[in-house]
């Protein structure tokens, strides 16, 4: 039985605690939060867990094999580093760390001590994203030409990170999963409408070798949208997370290329318009799938899907996008982190 | 009775001809197209009009007071310039010209000869856009914080202009109408997926003094979307051109700012969520409204809403966006047309 | 070249005239309407047609082989009967006649004179309906269990027929096509909200041998809906006429029957929930397809899909539904037209 | 502190237990279920409650002031009657009882012993329904002309009641709330597609003095729909329970009546088409509102909104609708429960 400590019982911590409580092979042994209110709420819902105020006590607790970190980003590195040094496995909420340097040090520490280091990029475990991955890997989509995401709603403004770190982070992890690599360049723009607050809306373009990704994120939108369009050379996808039933729609649409000039207005581009198809998706809760995967990686010593390298790639991109945004879109080269000439 | 010559009877010309035929105070006197097929179609639908192959003949025709130009962009300048020199009033399809220099020369020529020079930015005459303008001018929206447009579909790939010149041009004209000025800077990215074809998808950020605009345009999307989100300091709007009835929805939503720190995660930002309201819109066809406005400007010597200056602002922005796009997002200063340092 | 006379140039006549003008193998020779305004409009759009005020003149005109009737229902019988007696082929707008007796007399007259008698049930020629028919005929749907239609909007109130004759008529023709027979019994309820006007909303249940159909029609609804749900034993369909692209959606959903009691609340009924699939549909205009079919039936002496018998079945059902509605739902047996005991 | 016993911990009981646990002024003292599994689940979630297998023990338990019944319909009467006789207040899940006679006996018993008797018609406590009630009571809607509900989905087939008792029951309670009375007549049709199972789809028409209601209910539909259209003489409403944000939309639409014949086709009916408006609704959970209302009625001796009389009216209508359905739509007079002549 793997003992789990949950560090942070604010917005997301209770969800992680619930999922690990429902997962076989582990138990929620300790819950840590500096707020007495949060500890009281935790005690009511998880009467068997030990409650502590200081995360250091949770990390050091006998019977704790794994530490699950759901605190603000600025504390991720310190807690994860201490947990790894104490020989604990670590699951850390996204984004992994505040800087790519910190992420690299965690990866190194986990490797030296042979511990599992996993990042809570929940969407990677969503049945819809898995279905898209299968469509891409099977060749049904053809080459991935573009990924265009709109992820907007009203709130919640955060004080320690801008909207890219909060919302675009989801798309960055999905893109790493689908493409197996980080982008080579980024251009981003953004704006803050609340004095003293980080940017609350942003637009990001990511350049990959063959593909391009557009991300539109916003905390100040009149309606909630979670929609991704994916263009492949053979098929196209609309993935709408808010649809009740058909979250993933696959369109047999595209262009047919010829080689003769047609008329003065248009290219000789034909259009293919065929059937639409929405695969049935499992109703599994992504966070439960993820919790079971983490426990499984610990038990069997396997590498997690959203391990430290994927988390590092995301943080690197977040840093580069924030830098480009402060320069009003100036392209940043991700390999060198230099401004593109 | 104002005599109108329609130059170009391809995709858009027939719509213009139909609207001027239905407008009081004018008649379609001449239709010009170099294609015999196009002239045959025109003859069938507009039996009273004189058909000519050469636009020069249309411009020179006695009885022609106004020339309406619906040809590819690269011929706009030559035809419009000749028409103005011949003393004709001119309505030219969007975008006005291939370069800002050409647009400036047309403006000067029209001013010297005291002729009406108008650009066919049809959306400016749409009831939905007019309703949004009234909401902004009345102060109901508050300050305009952002304008975020998605304008995507499958096709029609064009050979002489990229997707920005074809689709983003609509938003640029609406923005000029709403804000009364061109942007001060632009950052754009884009990509071509068809060899030898101009960019078929692009993402543009426009910086204004206080506001920001995001435009997402794509000829290679699985579904058609024409949706604009507008954020004001007091209200927010969703404008969906494809909605059958409620094209404009006004949301009484926004943020409430306080001055005390709240918790470690979130800013002290409150959220206001009130009623939604969809004003009834006139069913008037925008192109008919525009045709009547052009004839009215000629008859009464008044300045058109979409005159040469507005058209020039749009062309300048298109040039700057294309330049930034070729530089992978490098910001371009619109006042100087120089790269932002 | 088959000469066609269009009788009635009000709301629907111009559409019929346009479609026959675009159809090969025929020409619009005569247009009849008692209104001088209507004739003036017709003259402008169809300059080659002869214009007459009296339908008798149209029927008798030399060069007229077929008469297309787009007048109010109460005049259908007289005009169609006269046309058939004059040896003309007849296409009559839906519903075919005011009574089943009249429909039977037209069928007999057409048979004796060997003329084509066809009813303008346009939806039968819609690509979406054809796709549904193919799904049913191929066995993919399984047995047809139910057909549930909502056909509502604001207006147009008619003075000579109630809403069942105006809107439910579409579903009745589709059902005749799909099932190949008229229902055996009907129960209907309805209400008029405008003094002196026929019923403007109604609900109809049609009993077939194995299947049931529900029709909900309303001229006084806040929004326009044109949606049919079709339940088969193997698959289910949602057909939404107002959808821009995916009008027909096929769901691999249904029940799985077992034979053991499960718990005190629920039957042992399992649920199957699989993929959804939307077949690509032709963009052909149904009325054009129908016009070509009528001309083809004349030229080749073949029987039309929507011939007199189908039209008669629809009228019989309309009569029975109206009778049941006046009796607040009392079931009416269609075979005998008697109240069900 | 009012002691509450929850009888039945199957599908709905846990929700009731949760809501009473969160409500001030009461505590969940006892939970009864004959299934050991259900008791084990209850023990885990409500460790402070006493668990019993026999409802008689729950009713007789000292410290129990109120009994909340969430068992199959056929046991409602026995449990509620015993609870009232033991001096307990009663909240019984909808529908109140299997027969109107049983409902009347409960009402009488509750009156004699001065106990609160309330029926769990949850939708009556929904913010959307309350908003509609306010619009009707304020006169904004004008007269209620019709209520047209579609309440369909796939499953859950029940074994002891037909689909009318499961789904239409919601609309019947809302109608009683809005109109303050039961209907005067009903016509219903329905069908079973699963051998040995009660009817799984039905269509019901309810006649009121001035208004009519249409209810379309179905356990065998490809998609889930919860949509009500309400027609008033001044305004119209679309109420969609599945909409995330704008559940209630108010349309300023309707007919304008004149008194002159217009043309041969149409009545002189004008159409009014104005703004649409969606009032902001509270996010309160209806069942929590209802639980607090029940406790409040006990504490203050006030009459509940969904008391025995409302519950009785609903059961009477359910009985009449089922009778009409078995007679294929034959109208049933609700005042006399006789077939309408």
Classify strands B248-257 and B269-278 as parallel, antiparallel or unpaired. Answer: antiparallel
Distance of residue B86 Cα from the nearest chain C Cα, in angstroms:
34
Nearest to A280 among C246, C275, C280 (CB): C275
Tokens 């008029």 found at: C192
Instruction: Return the pLDDT at A341.
Output: 57
Burial C165-200 (b: 16+ CB within 10 A, else e): bbbbbbbbbbbbbbbeebbebbbbbbbbbbeebbbb
Residue D91 Ramachandran class (φ > 0 left, ψ -120 to 50 alpha, else beta): beta
DSSP A180: S
B33 is written with which tokens? 């197209």
Other beta carbons within 10 Å of C70? 22
Nearest-angstrom CA–CA distance, B203 and B226 = 15
List the single residue in B with minimal CA-CA distance to A145.
B193
Nearest to C198 by CA among C171, C213, C220, C215: C220
Q: In what order do the strands lie in the sheet with B50-52?
A: B50-52, B26-32, B2-7, B66-69, B89-93, B117-120
- Chain B residues lying within 8 Å of C223, measured CB to CB: 245
Q: Is the pLDDT of residue A263 over 60?
A: no
Domains parsed from chain C with CATH numbers: 2-115 (3.40.50.720), 124-283+317-333 (3.30.360.10)
Distance of residue D113 Cα from the nearest chain A Cα, in angstroms:
38
Q: Longest Cα pair distance anywhere in chain A, in angstroms?
A: 77
DSSP A55: H
- Chain D residues lying within 8 Å of A47, measured CB to CB: 47
Whether chain B has a CB inside 8 Å of the CB on A234: the answer is: no
Distance of residue A282 Cα from the nearest chain C Cα, in angstroms:
10
Nearest-angstrom CA–CA distance, A318 and A100 = 9
Nearest-angstrom CA–CA distance, B50 and B28 = 9
Question: Per the CB < 8 Å rule, is A273 touching C252?
Answer: no
Give pLDDT tens digits for B76-121: 999 999 999 999 999 999 999 999 999 999 999 999 999 999 999 9
Give pLDDT tens digits for D103-157: 999 999 999 999 999 999 999 999 999 999 999 999 999 999 999 999 999 988 8
Contact between C332 and C185 under an 8 Å Cβ cutoff? The reply is yes
Question: Per the CB < 8 Å rule, is B246 touching D279?
Answer: no
Q: Is the pLDDT of residue C265 over 90?
A: no
> Can you list the residues of chain D whose pLDDT is less than 50?
262-265
Distance of residue A163 Cα from the nearest chain C Cα, in angstroms:
34
- List A residues 259-298 in contact with B (Cβ-Cβ < 8 A): 261, 263-267, 269, 271, 273
Of residues B299 and D44, more confidence is placed in B299
Give pLDDT tens digits for B135-188: 999 999 999 999 999 999 998 888 889 999 999 999 999 999 999 988 999 999
End-to-end, the C-alpha distance of chain D in Å comes to 55
Residues sharing a CB contact under 8 Å with residue C38, sequence separation 6 or more, in sequence order: C9, C10, C13
Nearest to C110 by CA among C66, C44, C147, C171: C66
Confidence band of B265 (pLDDT split at 50, 70, 90): very low
**ipTM strictly over 0.90?**
yes
List the single residue in D with minimal CA-CA distance to A223.
D245
Confidence band of A39 (pLDDT split at 50, 70, 90): very high
- List B residues 47-76 in contact with C (Cβ-Cβ < 8 A): 47
Give pLDDT tens digits for C226-241: 999 999 999 999 999 9
Nearest to D280 among B245, B275, B280 (CB): B275
Nearest-angstrom CA–CA distance, D159 and D333 = 28
Give pLDDT tens digits for C302-326: 999 999 999 999 999 999 999 999 9
Average pLDDT over residues A115-129: 98
Nearest-angstrom CA–CA distance, B152 and C313 = 46
Instruction: Return the pLDDT at C330.
Output: 95
Nearest-angstrom CA–CA distance, B236 and A154 = 11
Distance of residue C131 Cα from the nearest chain A Cα, in angstroms:
12
Dihedral of the CA atoms B147, B150, B155, B159 (nearest 10)? Answer: 30
Nearest-angstrom CA–CA distance, C159 and C169 = 16
Give pLDDT tens digits for B272-291: 889 999 999 999 999 999 99
Instruction: Return the pLDDT at B259.
Output: 55
Q: Looking at chain C, which subunits does it touch, using at least 3 CB pairs closer than 8 Å as the criterion?
A: A, B, D
Give pLDDT tens digits for B63-78: 999 999 999 999 999 9
Give pLDDT tens digits for C176-196: 999 998 899 999 999 999 888
Average pLDDT over residues C158-162: 86
DSSP A158: B
Give pLDDT tens digits for A287-326: 999 999 999 999 999 999 999 999 999 999 999 999 999 9
A299 is written with which tokens? 């038990």
Question: Per the CB < 8 Å rule, is A148 touching B216?
Answer: yes
Residues sharing a CB contact under 8 Å with residue A212, sequence separation 6 or more, in sequence order: A145, A146, A147, A205, A206, B189, B191, B201
DSSP D201: E
Residues sharing a CB contact under 8 Å with residue B326, sequence separation 6 or more, in sequence order: none
Contact between C124 and C306 under an 8 Å Cβ cutoff? The reply is yes
Confidence band of B264 (pLDDT split at 50, 70, 90): very low
Q: Is the pLDDT of residue C341 over 70?
A: no
Question: Per the CB < 8 Å rule, is C244 touching B245?
Answer: no
Question: Per the CB < 8 Å rule, is B223 touching C242?
Answer: no
Q: Looking at chain D, which subunits does it touch, using at least 3 CB pairs closer than 8 Å as the criterion?
A: A, B, C
Contact between D115 and D87 under an 8 Å Cβ cutoff? The reply is yes
Query: What's the whole-number average pLDDT of chain A?
Result: 93
Burial C268-301 (b: 16+ CB within 10 A, else e): bbeeebeebbbbbbeeebbbbbbbbbbbbbbeee
């Amino acid at each position: 039985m793997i003992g789990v400590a949950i560090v942070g019982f604010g917005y997301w911590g209770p969800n992680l605690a619930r999922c690990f409580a429902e997962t076989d092979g582990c138990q929620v042994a300790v819950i840590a939060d500096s707020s007495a209110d949060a500890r009281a709420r935790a005690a009511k819902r998880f009467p068997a867990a030990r409650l502590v105020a200081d995360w250091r006590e949770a990390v050091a607790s006998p019977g704790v094999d794994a530490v699950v970190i759901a605190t603000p980003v600025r504390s991720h590195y310190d807690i994860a580093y201490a947990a790894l040094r104490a020989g604990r496995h670590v699951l850390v909420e996204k984004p992994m760390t505040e800087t790519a340097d910190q992420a690299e040090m965690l990866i190194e520490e986990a490797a030296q001590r042979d511990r599992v280091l996993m990042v809570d990029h929940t969407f990677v475990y969503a049945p819809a994203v898995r279905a898209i991955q299968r469509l891409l890997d099977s060749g049904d989509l053809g080459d991935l030409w573009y990924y265009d995401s709109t992820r907007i709603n009203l709130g919640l403004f955060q004080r320690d990170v801008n909207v890219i770190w909060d919302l675009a982070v989801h798309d960055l992890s999905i893109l790493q999963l689908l493409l197996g690599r980080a982008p080579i360049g980024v251009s981003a723009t953004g704006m803050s409408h609340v004095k003293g607050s980080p940017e609350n809306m942003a637009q990001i373009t990511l350049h990959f070798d063959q593909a391009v990704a557009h991300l539109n994120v916003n905390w100040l939108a009149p309606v909630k949208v979670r929609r991704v369009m994916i263009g492949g050379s053979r098929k196209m996808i609309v993935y709408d997370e808010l649809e009740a039933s058909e979250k993933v729609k696959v369109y047999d649409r595209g262009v047919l290329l010829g080689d003769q000039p047609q008329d003065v207005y248009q290219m000789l581009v034909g259009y293919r318009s065929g059937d639409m198809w929405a695969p049935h998706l499992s109703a599994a809760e992504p966070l439960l799938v993820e919790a079971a995967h983490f426990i499984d990686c610990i038990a069997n010593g396997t590498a997690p899907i959203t391990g430290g390298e994927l988390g590092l790639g995301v943080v690197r991109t977040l840093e580069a996008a924030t830098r480009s945004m402060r320069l009003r879109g100036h392209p940043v080269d991700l390999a060198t982190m230099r401004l593109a000439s």
